[in-house]
Amino acid sequence: MDSLIFLIIAGGASAVGLYMAWSIGSNDVANSMATSVGSKALTFRQAVIVAGILTVCGAIFVGAHVTETVKSGIIVKEILCVANPTIVMLGFFSSLLAAAIWVTLSTWKEMPISTTHSIIGALVGFGLITWGTTCVNWEKLGFVASSWVLSPIVGCIIAFFVFKIIVKLIFAKEEPVKSAKIVGPFIIGTTAFLIVSALLLKTQLSEILGITEIPQIIFISLIALIIVSIISVFLLRKIEAKSLEDYAAVEGIFKKLQIITACYVAFAHGANDVANAIGPVAGIMDIAVTGTISVTAEIPYWLLAIGGVGIAIGCLTWGRRVMRTVGGKITSLTNSRGFSVEFAAATTVLAASKLGLPVSTSHTVVGAVIGVGLARGLEAVDVSVVRKIVISWLLTVPVAAATSAAIFILMTAIVL
Amino acid sequence: MVEKKDHFRAPVSYTFRRKSPFDQLLDHMGKVRECIDILGKELIKYYEGDYKNFSDIARRVSEIEHEADMIKRNLRNHLPNSLFMPVDKGKFMWALREQDKILDHAENLAKMLDMRHTKIPNELQNVFIDHAKLVTKTVDAMEDAVENIRDLVETSFVKREREQTKLLIRKVHEFEWKADEKKYEMTKGIYGLEKKLDSMDVYHLLKIADWVDDIADHAENVADWLRSMIAR
């Protein structure tokens, strides 16, 4: 009987996990890619392809850190390890389901909540109802929750300075186009540097390649910086200024550069958000396969890949529609602004992923947009969204926790 | 395409607006341009004693004024406190308000001229025409200055673009001053002919001088608000 239940739960968990991944792909990816579509750096078709491929890459190569946090960072390990495996499985399942329901509900009600926050809230709810307040790793939870507030702020600050630098080094110069051709490749090289170092810093890939020393990683990333810079110098050489104030040509340069930052965003998004769908599933699969709870077990790569693919499918099926709608709404974003937003948001999210912090990509993007607005880069930014986001912060954890607890009670009543 | 209600959680899109306030200001300015282009030409014809089609022109000016009013109202009604703009919202609204006044005065002028066809004395015709041309030039210069908002916003108000805008604003002042001088010349001319002319004619001629000059005054006000908008 046990094995049958295990099978049902494992299957069910995978299904709900896939559903969660799908909803992340269809909705959250659109939020992070919308800036590329809105500023016309990519057509929405290209955005779907870029998001599909790079989200999977980010999920597989960098996603494990955050998944670990979602899987077993929120509930105290000592309690989780000695608990009844069935209870833990049911708990993870309820959390996943509760988070998925809340996400769907918020999508319908158009509330700007985050899938990340939902899953964490749901896990807390399950922990509280089962073991009481002592089981929640409050310190870790506090750390995670503070990262939710910090990530948009950091995104905002980085975007502010990136845009200020662009203004200072390009727009304020006598020949903006000429300056853009010099500065652009360097910034894009920096992006390549960050992506490559993220790929190699404490990941499976670096162990396979045998590159684990920090100086080595920096050296390889620097090579990537130089190569990418040279390639972009080569690609940008054809753009000539028609006049001294040919800002369209400057934007044209950023349009090309933005292709890289769009990839960067998709990559960072995959790295961070795959955990929302896969974390609990990984926990369940672990128990279903071994029969015991092992906190330290590696997240299997095929699971990350499934999560990534789930996101990619969501992106391909529904994401294109969402992307077109959202992208169409933000057409006032020009390429230099889109570039600043994407660079800032992706850097923040990727850094959070490296720290094992599940943050909200879309909230960080909003923070970055406001940052550019504060740098006098946008014609109008509606900051009322901040209030909505704060409400969603306050609402998501309790609601997801309560739902998760309710589902858990219901499940145990049925199963046990 | 039919507007469908889509249910997405899309925080990013909430921060943006379908139409930027600056675009709308420029749209409104486009109406001013359209109106003054027509009126400037027709005014000279009127001064030369050609009143044919003037009623149509007055109607057209009134229509344009109405269209611009809708843009203005739309813009003003959708500028919530939560909207963050790179320039002072109050100053922005004042610029818009003054720009709209140009159209109000243009409409008033057209209607009043149409109500009573006043013959401009031959001695004064040239001065009147010169004045009309100067007023048109003032508005044209203002349009150039407002148009430069595009570059200002694009470069996030860098010094070079601000200096350029200031230069354009200075031109507005110059033309407005010249138009004022012309107006005094006109008024002097009218007083000089007061014995010869019918008193109602004198009244209307003085009024015309004022009405036309009002347009230049408000164009200058737009430039002034623009100047204060871009001040550091």
pLDDT at B197: 92
CB spacing of B156 vs A34 below 8 angstroms: no
Tally of domains in chain B: 1
DSSP A260-329: HHHHHHHHHHHHHHHHHHHHHHHHHHHHHHHSS--TTPPPPHHHHHHHHHHHHHHIIIIIHHHHHHHHHH
| Chain centroid, CA B66 distance in Å | 14
Point out the residues of chain A with pLDDT beneath 50: 1
DSSP A116-152: HHHHHHHHHHHHHHHH-GGGB-HHHHHHHHHHHHHHH
Report the DSSP beta bridge partners of residue B84.
A381
Other CB atoms within 10 A of residue A41 CB: 27
* Cβ-proximal residues to A254 (8 Å cutoff; 6+ apart), any chain: A41, A180, A184, A334, A335, A336, A338, A339
pLDDT at A2: 65
B9 domain residue, yes or no: no
CB spacing of B13 vs A326 below 8 angstroms: yes
CB spacing of A112 vs B14 below 8 angstroms: yes
Burial grade of A308 (CB within 10 A; 0-12, 13-18, 19 or more)? buried
Question: What are residue A357's phi and psi, to 5 degrees?
Answer: -100, 120
B2 domain residue, yes or no: no
Confidence of residue B8 (pLDDT cuts 50, 70, 90): confident
The pair of three-digit structure tokens given for residue A199, joined into one six-digit string: 């790929």
CA distance A171 to chain B (A): 5
Q: Distance between CA A360 and CA A347 in Å, rounded?
A: 13
CB spacing of B156 vs A334 below 8 angstroms: no
* Cβ-proximal residues to A258 (8 Å cutoff; 6+ apart), any chain: A36, A39, A41, A42, A335, A338, A339, A342
pLDDT at B146: 95
Interface test with A, best of B5, B6, B13, B168 (most A CBs within 10 A): B13
B140 domain residue, yes or no: yes
A359 has a chain B CB within 8 A of its CB: no
Q: What is the pLDDT of residues A8-50, one digit of tens each?
A: 777 888 888 899 999 888 888 888 888 999 899 998 888 888 8
Do residues B9 and A322 make contact, with C-beta atoms less than 8 angstroms apart?
no
B5 domain residue, yes or no: no
* Residue carrying the six token digits 């509900």: A105
In chain B, what percentage of residues exceed pLDDT 70? 98
CB spacing of B154 vs A334 below 8 angstroms: yes
Q: How many alpha carbons lie under 13 Å from residue A394 in its C-beta half-sphere?
A: 6
Do residues A266 and A350 make contact, with C-beta atoms less than 8 angstroms apart?
no
pLDDT at B1: 42
Average pLDDT on B124-142 reads 96
B47 domain residue, yes or no: yes
Report the residue of chain A nearest B148, measured CA to CA.
Answer: A245
Average pLDDT on B83-101 reads 94
* Cβ-proximal residues to A367 (8 Å cutoff; 6+ apart), any chain: A151, A152, A153, A154, A155, A156, A159, A345, A348
Do residues A255 and A40 make contact, with C-beta atoms less than 8 angstroms apart?
yes
A110 has a chain B CB within 8 A of its CB: yes
Computed over every residue of chain B, the mean pLDDT equals 92
Task: Flag whether the pTM goes above 0.90.
Answer: yes
Q: Which residue among B8, B15, B156 sits closest to A385, beta carbon to beta carbon?
A: B15
Interface test with B, best of A379, A385, A391, A395 (most B CBs within 10 A): A379
Buried b (16+ CB within 10 A) or exposed e, A162-182: bbbebbebbbbbeebbbbbbe
pLDDT at A297: 66
Q: Distance between CA A280 and CA A413 in Å, rounded?
A: 21
* Cβ-proximal residues to B175 (8 Å cutoff; 6+ apart), any chain: B134, B137, B138, B141, B216
Burial grade of A81 (CB within 10 A; 0-12, 13-18, 19 or more)? middle
B1 domain residue, yes or no: no
CB spacing of B22 vs A27 below 8 angstroms: no
CB spacing of A330 vs B23 below 8 angstroms: no
CB spacing of B9 vs A370 below 8 angstroms: no
Residue B113 clears pLDDT 60, i.e. is over it: yes
B189 domain residue, yes or no: yes
pLDDT at A1: 46
- Longest C-alpha distance within chain A, in Å? 78
pLDDT at B179: 96
Interface of A with B in 231-250 (CB under 8 A): 245, 247
Q: What is the pLDDT of residues B47-64, one digit of tens each?
A: 999 998 899 999 999 999
Q: What is the pLDDT of residues A176-222, one digit of tens each?
A: 888 998 898 998 899 899 888 888 887 777 777 877 788 888 899 99
User: In chain B, which ranges are E strands?
Assistant: 83-84
With contacts defined as CB-CB under 8 Å, which chain A residues touch B8? 27, 30, 107, 110, 322, 325-326
Interface of A with B in 137-166 (CB under 8 A): 163
With contacts defined as CB-CB under 8 Å, which chain A residues touch B21? 379-380
Which CA distances in Å does A327 have to A365, A379, B7, B224? Answer: 14, 17, 15, 37
Q: Which CATH number belongs to the domain containing residue B32 in this structure?
A: 1.20.58.220
Q: Which residue among A113, A325, A382 sits closest to B17, beta carbon to beta carbon?
A: A382
Residues of the domain holding B174: 19-230
A167 has a chain B CB within 8 A of its CB: yes
Spatial CA neighbour of A341 closest among A147, A180, A156:
A156
* Residue carrying the six token digits 């003085």: B206
pLDDT at A373: 93
B174 has a chain A CB within 8 A of its CB: no
Do residues A332 and B20 make contact, with C-beta atoms less than 8 angstroms apart?
yes
B82 domain residue, yes or no: yes
